[in-house]
Every structure is written in structure tokens, then in C-alpha cells.
Amino acid sequence: MEGPITGPGPMFAGIRPGPPGTNPEDFGYVAEEYFVSGTAAGQPYETRVLVRRPAKARDFSGQVIAEPMHRGGNALICQFARYGIAQNGHACLEIVARPINLDNAGNPASSLEPFNAERYGTLSVTAAQTNEIIAQVGRLIRSDARTGPLAGFPVEALVLAGTSDSSAVTRGYMASTHAAQRMPDGGPIYQGFFVTATLGPNPVEMTDVPTIQMPTQFEVHTNVSSAYRRPDSDVPGNQFRIYEVAGMSHNDSRENPGVSGCDQPLSRFPYGAMTFMGLQHLLDWVTDGTVPPRAPYIAVDEDLSDGTRVQLDQYGNAVGGVRTTYLDVPTKRYWPVNTGAGPLCFQVGVETPLTAEQLSALYENRGAYTSAVHQRLHDLVREGWFPREYVERYVKADLRESTHS
């Protein structure tokens, strides 16, 4: 291991910033880059890891969220959930584990070498090395070495996470490497798995550690069947939850979504809050055995005349799944697919205001609407479906900005 790396030239950020006051640095975090080298799949490699952590060990929770870099160049779980992560003192660990992370068709916005060849030109990984690199970096973090990336920051729990493309990488590790690559005492390297916006028809792989899967409404909408659904379980060796989040699109469109050219208003659904909700349930499950709640699936039906297999209520919002005030005390319709020339518009959501007639039928006045939001929010927080960390800046701030009267 070499680092922290300080040059030459700028560091590839690996995360898109959000609004002021929501970013790790706003909470006194530091970001440090390291180069890690070794042998995997019988060949040498050199890659980078990026650690985001509190500056002081006393502010560190002991919990680390690792993720393989997404092909888009970001640690998206850390990006999406950064506000809750930073308030709790967790650390993020981004692992460059695939060749596409080093050079994604020469795109400097999504890969290291095109961004800064002088700094990253010596790095080299192959597709055959991906899973072993993830395992070796995890062991490095868990070993609590005096010179490691988290030296002086005792690690209590290390989980591996990913969303969409990076969830596929995480699932590949779960399927092929988790059982074979272990700590010296035979225990797992990664003590839990969190995969979101998961694509495809296959159930998430079963492992011997807690696992939470979070499909969004987009996945329920686009899958032609529900074959990917795996039953919840608390049985040792099969600790699993699946949280299908109603109103949630495949990608965040509330804060710096990295997409443009869409035809319809981007959804301001609290994507980061729901990502953090699932992530924190996993961390609590791993760290102290707190068993997370169970949620119903998003309801589906055979009526495709409305353009979706998702069952919709009278306002066009999904029925069932993990709920929020945004759908349970609605002023808008949340749809998971946008349109437009932008290449990622289909991944981000749309919000459409309800009509004046609908709002009048729902709420007698502004006070009735406000009271209903507060009551539902209280219940959701108490039941574990909405994180307290996001109450003031998100739900209550949106309530204050609401034009409904």
C-alpha cells in the first residue's frame, strides 16, 4: 500500500457533490487516496482505494461502507446516502476493481486514466482480478494495520454495497468469492451486503451474512415478472430483507443527478434518505443484531392499460412497498421513468402535481395537510421506514416549500 497519494495533479473525486451542508466535508470529513498493489488471479495488479472518514477517530462510528466504483466513475451509495452517513460518523471506502474504472472509452468524467494519466497511468487491473481485489482490500481494512487506510480508526463492521452496475459487481463477489476468501479466523471479510436498484430476474445470492436488497419502483415496473423476489428470512445463514420502495426511480434526480435533456420535471423524491434507511438497517443488523422490519412488496397487477405492471392508486402512485409521506400524504404523482434526449432520462423520475380538485378533496386546508404529513412522518420514523437524519432538511423543508394551501 502507498499513500495518502497527493499528486501529481488533481485527484479523481469519485463522488458528485450535493447541496451545501449535505456533503462529507461539511461534517469535517477527509478524503484520502491510496494505491494498493498485490497479486490476484495469478497476475500483479495496482489499483486505488479512496477513503472518506471523519478527521478524528473519536468521531468515527467504526462502521465502513465499501463499494466497487460504478462504471460512471462514482461511489454512488456513498454519494446518495452521504448526509446520513456523515451525521453518524461512518466511513466510505471506494474500490477501483475493474478495467472500466481505469479507462471507460477514454472518458475523463468516468475513469481515472483519461482524467489524469500522470497520476493514474501506472494502475492496472484485469476483469479476472476484480473479486480477489475486492477481497484483498477488505482484508486490509479489517486487519486494522498500523499503516492501513484506517490506521487508528478501529473498524467494527465492514459491509459491501453497490447500486445498479456496482450492485452487479457486489453480487458477483457474493456469488463467487465471499465463501472462498475469508479472514484468518475463517469469518467473512465483508459482514453484510447492501444492493440497490438491482437489475435482472434473478434473486440475490444467499450468503452467511445479513443482506438487504432494495429494488426501486423502476425495477418492479420494468421486470416482466417478480421472479427476482426472494422471501425475507431471519434464519442464520439466510438473513435477508427485500425493500421495494414505492415512488423511487432507478437513479437519484433530486440532488446533482448527472443527467440533462429530460422532457419532464425531475422527481424530488428523497432518494438519499431511502438509500440511507436501508443501509443503516443493514449496519445495525451487522453491528448489534438489531433485526430490521419487514415490508410488503409493491403491488402488481395484470392490467397494463396504464403502462405499467405496478398497481397504481387513484392519484397514479404505486400501491404497497416501502412508504413515505410523499406518497401517503400526496400532492404529486411520482413516476420512475422520464423521457427526453438525455441518455439517462429513463433512469430518473418524474413528479407531476395533483390537480386543484384532487388536493381539495384530500385536504380541507393547509393546516390539515401539514398535520397529516407530521402524523404520517412520526409513524414512519417510529416504525423505522424514514431516517430521523432526513426529517428536518428534507420532509419538513419540502413541507415549508409546498405551494399547496
Strands 157-163 and 63-68: parallel
**CATH code at 24-402:** 3.40.50.1820
The helix (run of H) or strand (run of E) holding residue 287 is: helix 271-288
pLDDT in tens, 145-166: 677 899 999 999 999 999 999 9
The answer, yes or no, to whether the previous bond of 292 is cis (omega within 30 of 0) is no
**DSSP-assigned letters across all residues of 69-99:** PPTTSS-HHHHHTHHHHHHHT-EEEEE--SH
Q: In whole angstroms, what is the distance from residue 78 CA to residue 90 CA?
A: 10
* pLDDT above 90 coverage of the chain, percent: 93
Residue 352: what pLDDT? Answer: 96
Do 257 and 348 contact (CB within 8 A), yes or no? yes
**DSSP-assigned letters across all residues of 301-354:** -S--TTS-SB-B-TTSPBPBSB--HHHHS-SEEEES---BSSTTGGGS-EEEEP
Q: In whole angstroms, what is the distance from residue 268 CA to residue 252 CA?
A: 8
pLDDT band, very low/low/confident/very high, at 260 (cuts 50, 70, 90): confident
Residues β-bridged to residue 193? 160, 211
Per-residue pLDDT for 20 more than 70? yes
**DSSP-assigned letters across all residues of 365-387:** SHHHHHHHHHHHHHHHHHHTSS-
Nearest to 338 by CA among 250, 220, 213: 250
Q: In whole angstroms, what is the distance from residue 348 CA to residue 329 CA?
A: 22
**DSSP-assigned letters across all residues of 3-21:** -----SSPPP--S---STT
Model confidence pTM above 0.95: yes
DSSP H helical segments within 92-178, as ranges?
99-102, 112-115, 117-120, 130-142, 165-176
* Weakest mean pLDDT among 223-232, 248-257, 286-295, 396-405: 396-405
Residue 403: what pLDDT? Answer: 63
Average pLDDT, the chain: 96
Alpha-carbon distances, residue 308 vs 170, 230, 253, 297, 342 (angstroms): 29, 22, 21, 15, 22
3-state secondary structure 248-268: CCCCCCCCCCCCCCECCCECC
Alpha-carbon distances, residue 6 vs 35, 93, 164 (angstroms): 11, 18, 31
Residue 368: what pLDDT? Answer: 95
Per-residue pLDDT for 404 more than 60? no
Burial code (b: 16+ CB inside 10 Å, e: under 16) for 343-372 equals: ebbbbbbbbeebeeeeeeebbeeeeebbee
Residue 5: what pLDDT? Answer: 97
Residue 176 DSSP code: H
Cell of 122: 501506472
Per-residue pLDDT for 384 more than 80? yes
Per-residue pLDDT for 242 more than 90? yes
Do 47 and 36 contact (CB within 8 A), yes or no? yes
Do 77 and 162 contact (CB within 8 A), yes or no? yes
Q: In whole angstroms, what is the distance from residue 138 CA to residue 40 CA?
A: 14
Q: In whole angstroms, what is the distance from residue 397 CA to residue 381 CA?
A: 16
Residue 259: what pLDDT? Answer: 87
pLDDT in tens, 306-340: 999 999 999 999 999 999 999 999 999 999 999 99
Do 36 and 137 contact (CB within 8 A), yes or no? yes
Do 84 and 24 contact (CB within 8 A), yes or no? no
Can you give the length of the chain in residues?
405
Q: Domain segments of the chain: what residues?
A: 24-402
| Residue keyed to cell 472518514 | 53
The Cα angle at residue 64 between residues 63 and 70, in degrees rounded to 5? 150
Q: In whole angstroms, what is the distance from residue 262 CA to residue 284 CA?
A: 38
Do 352 and 365 contact (CB within 8 A), yes or no? no
